[in-house]
């Protein structure tokens, strides 16, 4: 089983649509969760952290379900500029001071005009 699993997509949605991405992780000891966005041939950029109580940033809402080890990202009112690959990222507890991040393979979103 992969440490972080995502549906690779692609998700093709029209502008203005609402789209949701899901992610599951295998290590129950993980404590930090993120969604990153990666544009084609570019580096990943932090979109938002995911908190236990759920959090919202404009059109983006992230949810965490620790019991099910499940993370979600909801994008409302999709824009053309939202087209990218969305990476689910989870920390891997490894002891000591260094915390590693484990990346999912990403979900490709294509917003159509």
Q: How many Å apart are CA 93 and CA 59, to the nearest integer?
A: 31
Give the one residue of 10, 18, 39, 46 binding another protein; rule: CB under 8 A: 46
Please tell me whether residue 98 binds another protein under the rule CB under 8 A.
yes
Please tell me whether residue 49 binds another protein under the rule CB under 8 A.
yes
Q: Tell me if the bond preceding 109 is cis, omega within 30° of 0.
A: no
* CB burial of residue 17 (10 Å; 0-12, 13-18, 19+): middle
Please tell me whether residue 44 binds another protein under the rule CB under 8 A.
yes
Please tell me whether residue 80 binds another protein under the rule CB under 8 A.
no
Candidates 15-23, 35-43, 63-71, 72-80: pick the segment binding another protein (CB under 8 A).
35-43
63 vs 104, beta carbon nearer another protein: 104
Please tell me whether residue 100 binds another protein under the rule CB under 8 A.
yes
Give the one residue of 11, 104, 109, 111 binding another protein; rule: CB under 8 A: 104
Name the residues that contact another protein, by CB under 8 A: 4, 31-32, 34, 41-46, 49, 87, 91, 97-106
């Amino acid at each position: 089983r992969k440490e972080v699993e995502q549906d690779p997509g692609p998700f093709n949605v029209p502008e203005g649509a609402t789209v949701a991405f899901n992610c599951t992780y295998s290590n129950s000891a993980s404590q930090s969760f993120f969604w990153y966005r990666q544009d084609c041939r570019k580096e990943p950029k932090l979109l938002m952290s995911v908190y236990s109580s759920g959090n919202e940033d404009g059109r983006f809402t992230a949810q965490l379900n620790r019991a099910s080890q499940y993370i979600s990202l909801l994008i409302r009112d999709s824009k053309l500029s939202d087209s990218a690959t969305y990476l689910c990222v989870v920390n891997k507890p490894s002891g000591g001071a260094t915390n590693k991040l484990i990346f999912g393979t990403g979900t490709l979103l294509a917003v159509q005009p």
